[in-house]
Amino acid sequence: MMNLIMTEELLQKLDAGEQFSIIDVRESEEVANGMIPGAVHIPLGQIESKFDQIDKSTPQYIVCRSGGRSAMACEILEENGFSVTNVVGGMLDWEGELQF
């Protein structure tokens, strides 16, 4: 069963200073419109080649535009031993700050 989180809950965790990583799996032209501050950009197609850049000991929150590609990324990462949570609604629902 995939872990899910709403964007509001993720914003609360960020504001509370919890320790975790956010991976944005959108394409570069989408990320150019802004991403969650501190997120790491790894396009979905590159996830498997970037396993060595992802910390297995840290919870990973995966975000895309609306939640579809991040769900695919979560499946790939979960199968490879990562602790992941899909951000439901993705950047379409994100109301926090953006980093450009």
Structure tokens at 71: 């769900």
> 30: exposed, middle or buried (C-beta count within 10 Å: 0-12, 13-18, 19+)?
middle
Structure tokens at 34: 């802004």
Active-site residue, from 35, 44, 64, 91: 64
Q: For residue 50, which of 77, 70, 90 has the smallest C-alpha distance?
A: 77
Active site residue 64: yes
Give the residue numbers marked as catalytic. 64
